[in-house]
Structure 1
Amino acid sequence: MTSMSRARVARRIAAGAAYGGGGAGLVGAAAVGLLLAEVQMARRRVGNGSSGRVPMADGVYGHAYDVPGEQGLRLTILGDSTAAGQGVHRSGQTPGALLASGLAAVAERPVELRNVAQPGAQSDDLDRQVALVLSSPAPVPDVCVIMIGANDVTHRMPPTRSVRHLSAAVRRLRTAGAEVVVGTCPDLGTIEPVQQPLRWLARRASRQLAAAQTIGVVEQGGRTVSLGDLLGPEFEANPRELFGPDNYHPSAEGYATAAMAVLPTVCAALGLWPEEERPDVSRREGFLPVARAAAEAASEAGTEVTAAMPTGPRGPWALLKRRRRRRVHEAEPARPTA
């Protein structure tokens, strides 16, 4: 599928989400019927990401930067098993801990991490997770990171419904005063147990949803980072290194790769990243209609999309960025929250 075709599909899904349309499924009914046996086989081998222990990583990171009387930053993670960090054994290997530690190093301030992500969650669980965040007596987070979408594809949630729930979550968090960064649906076409032709359909569905998620998030004032790297070409080339033992969730190295892609955007959302907020032509950055930017980002992992200009004749515009990444290392144990 070309970038322009993906942009049209993403616009249609996002419009259906905004105006309450039911929306077409990501995969046609006939194809689903033909592939039912293979889907069931893949699910038996892969599972649905709803079981397994997740290390507890909540706490304060970067306490070496603690200065009496100065306020630290607050980071909250929402989403599914990938956001929770399922598949690793130590808390410092989870994406939340990696992002909190990396953010603390860039900001030179301590970062308090709270993770409310739920393994197995689909986008309709975000309402509950956002309620947990906003009902807390603690101050509103400075920045929230959401990783969601893989289970929506594997459970065939209508994409318009998926995007509607995500957009509502971003809107509530932004209204409350938090910056929001969304890691969009990863490329499920590289999971080892999934074979052709389901592999091709999974990749297509993943990228369509990722592009539609980007449109919905940007329209609500959030930023997105495409997570194709999470289960994309780098993982396909190094499955033993970047996938965990279940061949579905990332390994510690895989989570570090994902955190490297997301950290620059988290820092930029807080005004902390040492790059100008304008396009660098040498890195193929630029201002594009949001649907086209979303489609291009879905095809290239690690690409950021953020709102850039008021709506014009071709609809809203966005800035597409390919930020330089910073290596992240396993986080030191967190200090308990006071």
Structure 2
Amino acid sequence: MPILRDSRRLTRAARRIAADLIARALVSNGFRPQHHTAFPLADGTYGDHEGPALSLLVLGDSIAASVGTSTVEETLGAQCAATLSHATSRPVRLRVLARPGTTTGFMKHQLRRALRHPHPPGVALIIVGGNDIVAGTPLRLAAKKLAHQVTQLRQAGWHVLVGTCWDVGHVPAVRNYLRIPLSCRSRRLEHLQTTAVRRAGAVAIPLRDPRHSTQPELFAADRIHPSAHGHALHLQAIARALTSTRATR
């Protein structure tokens, strides 16, 4: 269907333009999303154990994709896969579906790919919400869509972990006068996500951390995305839920 494909291309282009304009308005260091969204591809099998591999999917936005890291080993996906493999003594097959700029609504495209995953379901990790904050998405709508996506994964047999929205107001490049309103929206979305995903049968993991506002080394050179240290901090929050999940037993 050529017309449908052309329409989708236009929609994607419109989203990229909108994201660029929003980012320019919010930040003060000349950040350009399309210039800073590369990330190492971490897909693969982790662990040298024998036996059937456990599937791990990572869905969501630039944090989930590990923008800000420079090597595969630094990525959140690779660290989660290695942690899970060590805890379960099983190889872990990682697939990162997350893409920079993703909002909760736009994650539906990743969800379709997840539901077509050719291997038995295991653990799905979702991190999303920061782009909803800056894009002005109605927060209740974002939480409702997230709950629906979690429900679909759960019905397909996946055990779902959700890293809830971090505090966008702590991002160093954000203009000072926007820090308080962005922090308020971030905390509101975090609360709504937590309630929604728990009702849908997922585990909610808070990623908001006061250290983001006091330790600049937690951010990459663009002063927007987490650095390798920042992603390691997120791993600390995720690791306990990751290794205690029912899918690892």
TM-score, with structure 2 as normaliser: 0.86
Which portions of structure 1, spanning 4 or more consecutive aligned residues, are displaced by more than 3 angstroms?
43-51
The answer to whether the Cα contact below 8 Å between 1:92 and 1:98 also exists between their aligned partners in 2 is: yes
Secondary structure, counterpart of 1:185 in structure 2: coil
Secondary structure, counterpart of 1:235 in structure 2: helix
The Cα offsets for residues 235-291 of structure 1, whole Å up to 9 and x where unpaired, read as 22211x210011010111110110111011112223769xxxxxxxxxxxxxxxxxx
For 1:149, the equivalent position in structure 2 comes to 129
Give percent identity, aligned residues only: 33
**1:49/1:108 Cα in 2 relative to 1: closer, same or farther (>3 Å)?**
farther
The Cα offsets for residues 98-130 of structure 1, whole Å up to 9 and x where unpaired, read as 100011111111111001001110001221111
More helix by share: 2
Q: Distance in 1 between matches of 2:229 and 2:32?
A: 21
Q: Distance in 2 between matches of 1:265 and 1:138?
A: 22
For 1:299, the equivalent position in structure 2 comes to none
Q: Distance in 1 between matches of 2:194 and 2:53?
A: 29
Q: Distance in 2 between matches of 1:87 and 1:105?
A: 25
For 2:226, the equivalent position in structure 1 comes to 250
Secondary structure, counterpart of 1:131 in structure 2: helix
For 1:130, the equivalent position in structure 2 comes to 111
Superposed CA RMSD in Å reads 2.2
**1:49/1:106 Cα in 2 relative to 1: closer, same or farther (>3 Å)?**
farther
Secondary structure, counterpart of 1:234 in structure 2: helix
Cα shift at 1:42: 1.9
Structure 1 counterpart of 2:245, one-letter code:
A
* Unpaired segments ≥5 residues, structure 1: 1-36, 274-338
For 1:264, the equivalent position in structure 2 comes to 240
* Match status 1:94 vs 2:75: yes
The answer to whether the Cα contact below 8 Å between 1:51 and 1:119 also exists between their aligned partners in 2 is: no
Structure 2 counterpart of 1:153, one-letter code:
I
1:164 to 144, 149, 167: 144
Secondary structure, counterpart of 2:160 in structure 1: strand
Alignment of structure 1 residues 33-112 onto 2, 5 Å: 40=25, 42=27, 45-48=30-33, 51-63=36-48, 65=49, 67=50, 70-112=51-93
**1:196/1:270 Cα in 2 relative to 1: closer, same or farther (>3 Å)?**
same
For 1:329, the equivalent position in structure 2 comes to none
Aligned residues: 229
**1:46/1:227 Cα in 2 relative to 1: closer, same or farther (>3 Å)?**
farther
For 1:190, the equivalent position in structure 2 comes to 170
The answer to whether the Cα contact below 8 Å between 1:57 and 1:97 also exists between their aligned partners in 2 is: yes
Secondary structure, counterpart of 1:246 in structure 2: coil
Secondary structure, counterpart of 1:228 in structure 2: coil
Cα shift at 1:137: 2.5
* Match status 1:236 vs 2:187: no
Structure 2 counterpart of 1:182, one-letter code:
V
Q: Distance in 1 between matches of 2:40 and 2:163?
A: 20
